[in-house]
């Protein structure tokens, strides 16, 4: 099977397995695990933040950030198809007790003027706007890069209005290699950032959140409350260090493979690519091929290819380091053949 469902499906590299095997560990709830401390220090430095904290998943990192920035009854501005709003089980409402205020973005980027208009007034009737959440790259926008200038404008506005900014940077390093912008510049537009180690960077588990020392101190308590305090966590942090140190630059290969896949698919009659492929995702439109996304995914599976039905007529194909350029050729050949036969 050639698995293009997500970049989460990668298996840990031999170097990651070795690192886990040899990791020096301690009790991380006591903040005594040297490997976790090293990972947190490394991430903080890379992102240009004072401190960072290892968390079990991207979702946990995002939720801890919202819990730390906000109080119940406040309002959070986020993009209408953002992961925090779309895919996290309404946890910001259920746990943090905040009300989401969504703004539809343009390829994942919210218009700063629309945000300005959505920020609440000092009025007895209204909730307080306490947080703006950004996402880069934007998953449901097909791995779109949110431009640095857009983030800078939103950050400036947020600062003027005393509102915090959180970045869901599950795939921030994809934006970094796609643009050449230093990750610190993206992170500088935020009060907190979440990065995933287990997406394109290929680690088996974990994310980090980074911010000021005060933010991380508060966040550490929320992590414990949510059951995210892990003891000898160095075992899982060690592959994360390998991911941060060795797996960032190679993301260009995934992007090249996604472009090649998109260009090849676009040449097949009946298929159309919906997104401008900037990073590692291809959004394939299936309607003109006479199939729903679900039907198309079944057809792909019969050809030994796994993909995700994303919208009624949209299939998402994601490249990652366990898929080679040669396998992309195989995918194109098989899909082309199947479409010709009118499967
Ligand atoms: C995957 C993802 C997350 C959540 O990460 P998990 O580790 O799966 O909880 C958050 N945001 C975005 C944009 C993602 O793609």
> Residue 284: beta bridge partners?
273, 315
Cβ-based burial of 272 (10 A; exposed 0-12, middle 13-18, buried ≥19): middle
Does the beta carbon of 75 lie inside 6 Å of ligand 1? no
CATH code: domain 250-341 is: 3.90.1150.10
| pLDDT for 343 | 55
The rounded distance, in Å, linking the Cα atoms of 171 and 325 is 21
CA of 105 to the centre of ligand 1 (A): 19
Does the beta carbon of 196 lie inside 6 Å of ligand 1? yes
- pLDDT class for 6, splitting at 50, 70, 90? very high
- pLDDT class for 91, splitting at 50, 70, 90? very high
Question: What residue owns the CA closest to ligand 1's atom 4?
Answer: 58
Q: Which fold has domain 7-246?
A: 3.40.640
pLDDT tens track for 152-188: 999 999 999 999 999 999 999 999 999 999 999 999 9
* Residue 104 Cα to chain centre, angstroms: 18
Closest CA to 60 of 229, 231, 181: 229
The preferred substitution site among 55, 59, 172, 197 for testing ligand 1, maximizing ligand atoms within 8 Å of CB, is 59
The rounded distance, in Å, linking the Cα atoms of 178 and 151 is 16
* 197: CB partners within 8 A, 6+ apart: 203, 205, 206, 207, 208, 239, 240, 243, 244
pLDDT tens track for 264-312: 999 999 999 999 999 999 999 999 999 999 999 999 999 999 999 999 9
CA of 337 to the centre of ligand 1 (A): 34
pTM exceeding 0.95: yes
* 118: CB partners within 8 A, 6+ apart: 77, 101, 103, 129
Domain ranges of the chain: 7-246, 250-341
* Residue 78 Cα to chain centre, angstroms: 14
């Amino acid at each position: 099977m050639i698995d293009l469902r997500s970049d989460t499906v990668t298996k840990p590299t031999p170097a990651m397995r070795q690192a886990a095997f040899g990791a020096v560990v301690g009790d991380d709830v006591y903040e005594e695990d040297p490997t976790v401390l090293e990972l947190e220090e490394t991430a903080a430095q890379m992102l240009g933040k004072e401190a960072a904290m290892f968390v079990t998943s991207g979702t946990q990192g995002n939720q801890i950030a919202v819990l730390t920035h906000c109080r119940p009854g406040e309002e959070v501005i986020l993009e209408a198809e953002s992961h925090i709003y779309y895919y996290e089980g309404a946890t910001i409402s259920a746990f943090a007790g905040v009300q989401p205020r969504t703004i539809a973005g343009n390829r994942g980027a919210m218009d700063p003027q629309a945000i300005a208009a959505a920020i609440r007034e000092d009025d007895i009737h209204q909730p307080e706007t306490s947080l703006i959440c950004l996402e880069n790259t934007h998953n449901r926008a097909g791995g779109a890069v949110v431009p640095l200038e857009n983030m800078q404008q939103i950050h400036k506005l947020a600062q003027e209005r005393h509102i915090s900014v959180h970045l869901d940077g599950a795939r921030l390093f994809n934006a970094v290699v796609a643009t050449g912008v230093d990750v610190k510049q993206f992170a500088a537009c935020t009060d907190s950032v979440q990065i995933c180690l287990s997406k394109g960077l290929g680690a088996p588990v974990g994310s980090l959140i980074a911010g000021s020392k005060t933010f991380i101190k508060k966040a550490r308590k929320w992590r414990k409350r949510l059951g995210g305090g892990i003891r000898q966590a160095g075992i899982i942090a060690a592959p994360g260090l390998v991911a941060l140190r060795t797996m960032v630059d190679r993301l260009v290969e995934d992007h090249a493979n996604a472009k090649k896949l998109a260009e090849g698919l676009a040449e097949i009659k009946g298929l159309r690519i919906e997104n401008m492929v900037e990073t590692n995702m291809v959004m394939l439109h299936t309607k003109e091929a006479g199939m729903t996304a679900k039907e198309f995914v079944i057809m792909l599976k019969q050809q030994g290819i796994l993909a995700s039905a994303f919208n009624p007529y949209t299939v998402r194909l994601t490249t990652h380091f366990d898929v080679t350029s040669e396998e992309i050729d195989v995918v194109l050949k098989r899909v082309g053949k199947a479409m010709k036969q009118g499967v």
